[in-house]
Amino acid sequence: MNSKLYVGNLAPTVSESDLRDLFSRAGTVTAVELMLDVVSGQSRGFGFVTMATPELAATALNEFHCQELGGRHITVTEARPPQEPKGLIGEGFELGHSPFRPNPPERKHRRRPSGSPRHGRRGQGR
């Protein structure tokens, strides 16, 4: 198991020191990261707690998952490694293509059969 834990469903009033105090009951906490909104500076409702060892992380996960903190039942799971961002240089943007919108299909020009009117039936029979 990883020693880094994801903590979700946090109330906006919960601080990094609140998380450190709670998780230090299970063992040594090496780092606490509370994710904040860039514009408002308020909590985004989740954060990460890194325990000293994977064994302490497993103990904290079992002990604090669904524990009440700040009036909410928090979610504690093992943190997943970050994924590489997609859609940056090298992913097609430099060519004007977007990974979110498929490239337009190749246009196929159809030939009209000889003798067929250019604009459908318009102008015939009058």
Residue 40 lies in a domain: yes
Count of CB atoms within 10 A of residue 3's CB? 19
Q: For position 35, which CATH number holds?
A: 3.30.70.330
DSSP letter string, 41-93: --EEEEEEEEESSHHHHHHHHHHHTT-EETTEE-EEEEPPPPPPP-SSTTTTG
**What letter would DSSP give residue 101?**
B
What is the domain count for the chain? 1
- Domain containing 19: what range? 4-78
Residue 10 contacts residue 40 (beta carbons within 8 Å)? no
In a domain, 93, yes or no: no
Q: Would residue 25 count as lying in a domain?
A: yes
Q: Would you say residue 107 lies in a domain? A: no
How would you write the pLDDT of the chain (126 residues) with one tens digit per residue?
A: 789 999 999 999 999 999 999 999 999 999 999 999 999 888 999 999 999 999 999 999 999 999 999 999 999 999 998 877 665 555 555 555 555 666 666 666 666 666 666 665 555 555
pTM here is 0.66
